[in-house]
Chains A and B, each alone.
Chain A
Amino acid sequence: MNIIVCIKQVPNTTEVRLDPNTGTLIRDGVPSIINPDDKAGLEAALRLKDEHGGKVILVSMGPLQADVALREGLAMGADEAYLISDRLFGGADTWATSSTIASAIRKIGNFDLIITGRQAIDGDTAQVGPQIAEHLGIANISYAEDIKIEGNSVIVKRQYEDRYHILKSKLPCLITALAEMNVPRYMKPGGIMDAYENKEIKIFTRQNLDIEDENIGLKGSPTRVLKSFTKQVKGKGIVVSLNAAESADWIVEILKEKFIL
């Protein structure tokens, strides 16, 4: 049972603050982490490996610094790690990202299952997982809350807004994991040593992949960012400080004025 887990190194967006003077993002000093949905996907893969044996293979695409995220994954118990990294891959949208990752996965080959996170907390698109599956021509199951292996199939609890579907698919297939699926394990002290001293992170550059130039990087991206900006906050309204009874009466007056009462 070989499981490929795709992980992304992301800035911890919950720690991002806005500069009150300029209204711009303060990115300095914001720690990088393994994207939470991806980390849950890795934990799910490690549990399947614990139960059924086999290998967990990490794949990440990003700058060379993403090495840290892969080492963390190795220290948690993954067996191998690949980093897809080349300037030529820069500026990729989800289409070009997914076609690049799919070509790397084809190169690695010999997998039974691919697990990605549902979405990354910096982009929130939830598109790359299903698009990798599309490029590889395999089934995908999104929004997984539970994954089991049964023979040559996976059984997945798939979340919707008001329900779950329990789905069964033949392997190979791709599953996108939700962070609420599990609590990821910590790195093992021995694992950290091993990850840094004995394990090698294999780098895929442009030259290592069989992919057309028109399908990578900015050039291979159908979408373009026209501009980005910090959100305009709505103007401040009226704020009062009254005792509780007066406050209640004040709100009643507003509701009458706005025809709610």
Chain B
Amino acid sequence: MNKQECSGVFVFIEQVEQKVAGVSFELIGKGKELAVELNTDLIAVLMGYNVEGIADDLAYHGAEQVIMINDPALETYMTEPYVKAMTAVVNKYKPEIVLFGATAIGRDMAPRVSARVHTGLTADCTKLEVQEDTKDLLMTRPAFGGNIMATIRCPEHRPQMATVRPGVMQKYTAAEKIPCKVDRLEVPDLADSKNVEILEILKKVSEKMDIKDARILISGGRGMGSAENFALLEDLAEVLGGTVAASRAAVDAGWQEKDSQVGQTGNTVRPNLYIACGISGAIQHLAGMEESDIIIAINKDETAPIFEIADFGVIGDASKIVPMLTQAIKAQRK
């Protein structure tokens, strides 16, 4: 695609059963910043079936323009119809930048779109910025298990495409709904493009709040000593209105479910408050939580790496300190 004729920052809006993924709102927030810097527009690309109502939701989060493909073939995510629809958008509108969430959907769909339109794709970015002189997008991402960071450019090909890790960009929330223009797009033959059949959908049962959406996380590691001691973290989470998370060690020990795991192979989180209890802070764990606004660490081992990044650290046994902290907070609340 010719560089000169491409413009606009396009964001793929991921929705499952009409519920928009948090990362899509984060991308609208980041995309708006980039669009301002590039003196262009932010455009949300919404696809699915019966998704008309979602456009309002997007407007609350800062989208002024939406391209909507509303088609029964897009009701449930399947690779080919989604890739075909997104490719049609790219070919018709010639965006300068296209962003996807680095989710199980985005990481399946974006590689095929980029291969189909012959452009570059940078995976799992944690930072996006505009290069001053070239106005190219600089995409920074962790590699080597989070041990190094690499900044990637896509100098000649357009659009510049990236998947962005959930939880690292700031959502934008408008005080009220902003006016939003919706363009409907019809893409022919989406139903015929299906090359995979869905036999069954099995939902994982979880009543817990998604840790990526939690504002306060109480996270436990090997130092909690047992599954039973995680009940202490639940108590603290309850008085603070938070959610319990865990390190890989605690998940591997079977003390917590995998969906509550923070770190390189789990979830990246960015809460207002992260209390790390009995977590030593392996680099893979730190990679998943170091962007938290305030980090408090409680650990017996004063040499634990978690203390290197904690804003506030307490050397001590988390299983003793946590219940006292819960009591002290309850006392404050009276």
**Which A residues lie at the B interface, using CB under 8 A?**
11, 13-14, 16, 18, 25, 93-95, 98-99, 121-131, 133-135, 139-143, 155, 159-170, 173, 221-231, 233-234, 236-245, 247-252, 254-256, 258, 260-261
Q: Once bound together, how far apart are the Cα atoms of A64 and B204, in whole Å?
A: 43
- The answer to whether B179 has its CB under 8 Å from any CB of chain A is no
Query: Do A233 and B325 have beta carbons less than 8 Å apart?
Result: no
When distances are taken between beta carbons in the complex, the residues of chain A under 8 Å from B294 are: 254, 258, 260
When distances are taken between beta carbons in the complex, the residues of chain B under 8 Å from A243 are: 316
- Given A98-B115, A125-B123, A131-B111, list of 13 further CB < 8 A pairs? A94-B121, A124-B123, A129-B111, A141-B79, A164-B204, A166-B201, A167-B196, A223-B122, A244-B324, A245-B324, A251-B296, A251-B321, A255-B240
Q: With contacts A248-B325, A248-B328 known, is A231 near B119, CB below 8 A?
A: no
Whole-angstrom distance between the Cβ of A47 and the nearest chain B Cβ: 21
Whole-angstrom distance between the Cβ of A121 and the nearest chain B Cβ: 6
Whole-angstrom distance between the Cβ of B158 and the nearest chain A Cβ: 9
Query: Do A126 and B103 have beta carbons less than 8 Å apart?
Result: no
Main secondary structure of the interface of B (DSSP, over half): mixed
Segment 52-68 of B: residues with Cβ below 8 Å from A: none
Query: Do A249 and B328 have beta carbons less than 8 Å apart?
Result: yes
Closest to A159 in B: B104
When distances are taken between beta carbons in the complex, the residues of chain B under 8 Å from A254 are: 294, 296, 312
Query: Do B104 and A25 have beta carbons less than 8 Å apart?
Result: no
Query: Do B150 and A155 have beta carbons less than 8 Å apart?
Result: no
| Segment at the A interface, from B25-33, B36-44, B303-311 | B303-311
Q: With contacts A125-B123, A140-B112, A168-B196 known, is A227 near B150, CB below 8 A?
A: yes
Query: Do A233 and B309 have beta carbons less than 8 Å apart?
Result: yes
When distances are taken between beta carbons in the complex, the residues of chain B under 8 Å from A260 are: 216, 240, 272-273, 294
Q: Once bound together, how far apart are the Cα atoms of A80 and B314, in whole Å?
A: 56
CB 8 Å contact bits of B75-100 with A (1 = contact, 0 = none): 01001100000000000000000000
